[in-house]
Structure formats: structure tokens, C-alpha cells
Chains A and B, each alone.
Chain A
Amino acid sequence: MALRFIRIVCFSTSSLLKTAGRSRPLSTSSALRCTKTDQENSGSQHEQHTESSEDPHMHEEIPESEVRQRLLDAALEFVPTHGWSVEALAEAAQTEGLPAVSHGMFPRGGGDLALHFVGVCNAQLAEQMAQETQQVEEGHVERRHTREFLRDAMETRLRMIVPYVDNWPQAMSLLAQPNCAPDSLKLLSGLVDDMWYHAGDRSADLNWYTKRVTLAGVYTSAQLVLVRDQSPDYQETWEFIDSRLDNLEQLGKAVRGVAPTVESLAQGLSGAYLTIRNITGFNVRDR
């Protein structure tokens, strides 16, 4: 008993240092824990049984969210060969030492995997944009023109899809299905919001909505162009984005340009009305 204690103390420090960078395989997460009937059998015996290495933390649980994250991250590797499907999740589970049935942790199957990937890409982009904004605030870099910023952000985000572009139509169709659509829309709206915010948009009126909706439209159509794009380094897609952003700019200008025309038209009409009233004699005031 004492020897075991000494052994644990001696090894704990060294193993803590050893395991600092290394992550445990998921198959070690479940200790033999049956609270009801194992009270008769000594719990310590079981703990010793599950300590396969000299790591005293081996019998601790890995949190459920971490388990899911790790499986989803591992599954991305198998997407090019297996598509966005439960087969990719099952292969990932097997690399972690878990049986193929563990894919049941993701009831939407390939949809869950696609959502995870989109979330990860969005987070990466947001981080990059935030870093740039910080550098602008600190004065290291000049603030870029909105249009250029948006174009670069779109390109960065779409390039993250490029490794999986062969299977991306499958992912898009999965994300459009009713069990995934609400989450997918949420992710898309978060993406365009981040893009506009870091581009410098601080509007507090209806423009906030129109800007995000239009940018979401540009992004979605750019995705569709990307999956059909056969040009070298996807030049067609970047040119498509350029022309769509041009359209947006022109639309904005046109909306603003129409306003004075409307005003002058209104003035002209009211002038004509007054003249007619004067002529016909219904103008009581200037008699």
C-alpha cells in the first residue's frame, strides 16, 4: 500500500511533465465505473486495472464536448476518400481506438461533420481578421479599403474549402437539409457579420441588414462558382467575387444617387401643383 503510494508520487511529477503536450487516446476515457454493483468489489482494484500506463490521470473522463471535437477533427482527414458521411466518422473513430458504431454520437452524420468544418473555418477567418484589425489600431498597418478587405476575406475563406472542393457539393446539400439548415444559416450570418464588422461597418440602421444579406448572397454564389471552377488557381472565382462586389458598390451608389433625383422630382411636382392652383384661382392665400 505504502509502496504504491510512493510509486504514484514519484511517477506523477515525471508523467505530468510527459503528458503535458501529449493527448490521451479517447479509448482511455471510460474507467470501469458501475457505482451500484461495484461497491462490493473493491473500487481500488478496478482503478489499478485501468491504469494501463503509469499515468495517475488515466482514469479521469475526457469531457463529452472534447470527445466530439476530437472525433470531428480527425474525421476531416477521411473526407476526401469517404465524403461527408458516417464512414468518415467511423474511420476517425477507429484511429482513436473506438469502434465504428461511435459515429452514432453524431446523429446527423455527415451533416454534423460539415457543420463542424464550416464552424472551424469561420473561427479561423474571424481570428485572422481580428488580428488585422488589432494591427490597424496599433498603427502597424494601414486600414484597407472596404471593398479590398471584403474581397480578401472572401478569398481567404473560400481557399479553406479548396482541399475539400471535390466533395463540397455533398457538404452543401447536407447543410441545406432541414436538420442542418438552421445551424448552417446561423453560421453563415455569423460569417458575414464578422466580415462587415472587421471591414469597418458600424451602421445602426436598415443598412446593417441589407449589407449582410447582400454579402451572404455573394458568398453563397461564389461557393457555387468555386465548385465548378476549373481555371488555374481558381482565378474565375476571384474574378467572380470582384464583379459581384462591384455590383454591390454600384447598387449602393445608385441608391444614394437616386435620392437627390427623387427630391428634385418632388419639388418639381409640388411647384407644378401650386402653379395650377394659382391659375385656376383656388389659391386663397395670394389674392
Chain B
Amino acid sequence: MTYKTRNMAALRCVSVRLGRVCRCSNRIIASRRNLSEQKSSDENDKEEGTEKSTHFGFESINESEKTGKVHEVFSNVASKYDVMNDAMSLGVHRLWKDRFMQVLDPLPGTRLLDVAGGTGDIAFRFINWIKEKELQQKKASPGAEFRLNPLETDDSESAPEFPSAEDYLYSEQREDTTGTDDRKDSKVIICDINQSMLEVGKERAKKLGLEDVFSSPDVVWVTGNAEELPFPDNSVDAYTIAFGIRNVTHIEKVLCEAYRVLTPGGRFLCLEFSQVSNPLLSSVYDLYSFQVIPVLGELIASDWKSYQYLVESIRNFPNQEEFAEVIREAGFRMVSYENLTSGVAAIHSGFKI
């Protein structure tokens, strides 16, 4: 097919879909079972879509070139992922993720498992946060700025120019100053079901210079399914999932897996789109979601269907209270949530205690 006819076909598709979108936005959502069926069928569609695109659309190509072209397609979508996030949320998703890391407030020595964190947004914030904390710990003895005479120094803080963090934190408390073997190293494990997203994440890490060997924390990239994590029980201190839990088939399984891999006292944190309670804001948000986002998806990522699926799945996802209840059912306690941007997104938190 020529370039022109292919374009005309695409435009016709867009106009048909626009009509469909107006009807979609008036639809009232029924029960969660219907939605999960719809979701899984949409997911199948999406998977089929990507599989079909290995035929490379209306073109037929040589088998030897196929692998390369398929890889190109996936890289294309994965690389546009961050741009699409910025376009759809007008950059606000960065603030949400910043707040997410603020709520977690990890200290050095934390082992974090970031699920569905392909392109590494949360993981990079974690790394920078830990580095900042370690720097702060090295700079001043804790609580000094609140003492009346801040220039007053303790005996332990005598000569060395760059005393290590352990000297401040542990020498005063431990009877045996045998060394730093007991201190855990910070670690972040990024797990995603899609290898190409992980690749994009690795590229970004290299570009940001976060992959150098001698700095802590450790970064590990793992391919895995959130419903069946390839990690042992009680192996991580914190489990985060940002904008990923909406896409899974069985939320309960994911939460159970989260419970399993967390160490006792560990924290489960989930950042996800949620329901806007304010009716005025809600109508503006609905309009934006159904009229603007799929169009952006088509223009930027050439993927209308996925972004149509995205906005519908947001409506299908349980609201703040219901999701908190599901988290409690999985066994977490002290479950709470915080609304961001009046409910457009919400941070849910629970502890395995």
C-alpha cells in the first residue's frame, strides 16, 4: 500500500474512533467482573495488536528483517512512553512521583522492589534520594542545627575530612565497632514484564550516570510478572508500584505477591490513578481523558487503542476506599491513602506488620 492510501485509512480510522469516543464517555460502568473481562479482552487485543504489528501493518517484509523491525517498533513505543506521560499529564506526573518518594522517605540501607517500573522513574528518584541522605549524614552530626550551640562538636567528630556515615551513626551506639559488615547496602530492583521498557530504563540510567560501579545503591533490572514474582519470601523492605497495578489481570494476586516478598514491617506503596470526587473537576477530567488523551496517543505514539484502553481502565479501577479495602484483605495493616491533584492520582500505603 502506498504512503498516501495508508494515511487516508488512518484518518478514516481516527474519525470513526472520535465518534465512538463521544459515546464511550457517556457510558456508565457496571460491575468489576465485567470490567476485568473487558480489561483482559482489551489486553488481549493490545497483545494481539502488537503481535499483528509484527506483520508490520499493511507491509510484508523479509523474515530476516522482521526481528529488527519488531524490535524497532517496541523501542519506538517504549521510548515514547515518557513523552506520552509528560504530554498527557502536562508534566504533573513528575510531581506525583516526587511526592511518592517523599512519602516513602527511604533511608540508606533500604532494599526497594519497584514493580512495573520499566523506564525507571521511581528507581532513579530512589537512587538520588539515598545519595542525598548519605551526603546529609556525612555533613553534620544529627540534630546539630537544633542545638543552641551548633558549632559545638561531639568528641567522635574530631579530625578526618570525610568521615564515613558509619562513624556517626554506629560508633556511639554499638559496643563492638567491628565494622560496616552489618549495615545493609541500599538496593533497588526494577521488575517489569516487558523487556523493552527495561531496556529504555537502562539507557536512561546510563545517560543520567547512575550506573557507575562504585556508588551505592545497587541497581538490578529483572524481567518478571507481578503476579508471580521471581523473588524469595521476606526479601525486600519496600515494594512500590507506580501506574502499574491498573494493568494487571488479578490485583489480589499482585497484592499477595507483594505481601510475600516484603519483610515483616515492610511497606507497600502504590501510586495509581483514582477517582475524582469533586463533580465539577470530575467532568473536566472526563472530558480531557476521553477527548484529548487518545488523540495525543495517536499523534505522538501512533497508538490510539492503547491510550483509549488506558483512560477506560482508569474508570474501571476501584476508587480510593475500595482499593484500600482490597489492600487490607491481602493482609496489610495501617492502610491509608493520600489524594494527589484532588483524586486524579492517589498514593496507597500499607504495612506488613
Contact = CB atoms under 8 A, between A and B. Distances in A.
Contact of B351 (A84, A85, A104): A104
Contacts of A90: 107
A111 B247 CA distance: 38
What are the 10 tightest A-B residue pairs by CB atom distance, in nearest-first order?
A: A83-B143, A98-B265, A170-B146, A99-B237, A34-B256, A27-B264, A100-B107, A102-B265, A36-B252, A33-B331
B269 to A, nearest CB: 8
Interface in A160-179: 166-167, 169-170, 173
Nearest to A35: B329
Interface residues of A, number: 45
A90 B173 CA distance: 14
B267 interface: yes
A105 B334 contact: yes
Given A30-B353, A102-B267, A87 B109 contact: no
Contact of A32 (B110, B143, B237, B260): B260
B142 interface: yes
The interface centre, meaning the residue of A82, A87, A100, A101 with most chain B CB atoms within 10 A of its CB, is A101
B143 A167 contact: yes
A117 to B, nearest CB: 15
A99 B263 contact: yes
Contacts of B104: 101, 104
A111 B90 CA distance: 35
Interface of A: 26-30, 32-38, 61-62, 64, 67, 78, 81-87, 90-91, 93, 96-105, 109, 166-167, 169-170, 173, 227-228
A26 B330 CA distance: 19
A83 B142 contact: yes
A37 B267 contact: no
B157 to A, nearest CB: 12
A227 B148 contact: yes
A103 B237 CA distance: 12
B259 interface: yes
A104 B103 contact: yes
Given A101-B110, A102-B351, A105-B334, A85 B143 contact: yes
Contact of B264 (A87, A91, A98): A98
B49 interface: no
A99 to B, nearest CB: 4
Nearest to B256: A34
B172 interface: yes
B186 to A, nearest CB: 10
A254 to B, nearest CB: 36
A101 B266 contact: yes
A26 B252 CA distance: 26
A82 B252 contact: no
Contacts of A82: 142-143
A34 B351 contact: no
A36 B105 contact: no
B106 interface: yes
B274 interface: no
A104 B334 CA distance: 10
B253 interface: yes
B106 A101 contact: yes
A173 to B, nearest CB: 7
A70 to B, nearest CB: 11
Given A30-B331, A36-B252, A85-B142, 15 more contacts: A26-B264, A33-B331, A34-B259, A34-B260, A35-B331, A62-B353, A64-B333, A87-B107, A101-B105, A101-B265, A101-B266, A102-B353, A103-B105, A105-B353, A167-B147
Contacts, number: 123
14 contacts: A27-B263, A30-B331, A34-B259, A35-B331, A64-B333, A64-B334, A84-B143, A97-B265, A99-B237, A99-B265, A101-B106, A102-B267, A104-B105, A169-B146
A28 B142 contact: no
Contact of B329 (A36, A38, A98): A36
Contacts of A87: 107, 142
B106 A100 contact: yes
A212 B333 CA distance: 40
A37 to B, nearest CB: 5
A33 B330 CA distance: 7
Contact of A101 (B143, B147, B238, B252): B238
Nearest to A90: B107
B349 interface: yes
A81 B330 CA distance: 38
A36 B330 contact: yes
Contacts of B106: 100-101
B352 interface: yes
Given A36-B329, A85-B143, A28 B264 contact: yes
Contacts of A33: 259, 331
A30 B252 contact: no
Nearest to A80: B143
A90 B265 CA distance: 11
Nearest to B108: A100
Contacts of A81: 142-143, 172-173
A98 B104 CA distance: 15
Interface in B81-113: 103-107, 109-111
Given A87-B107, A98-B353, A228 B148 contact: yes
B334 A100 contact: no
Contacts of B260: 32, 34
A173 B146 CA distance: 9
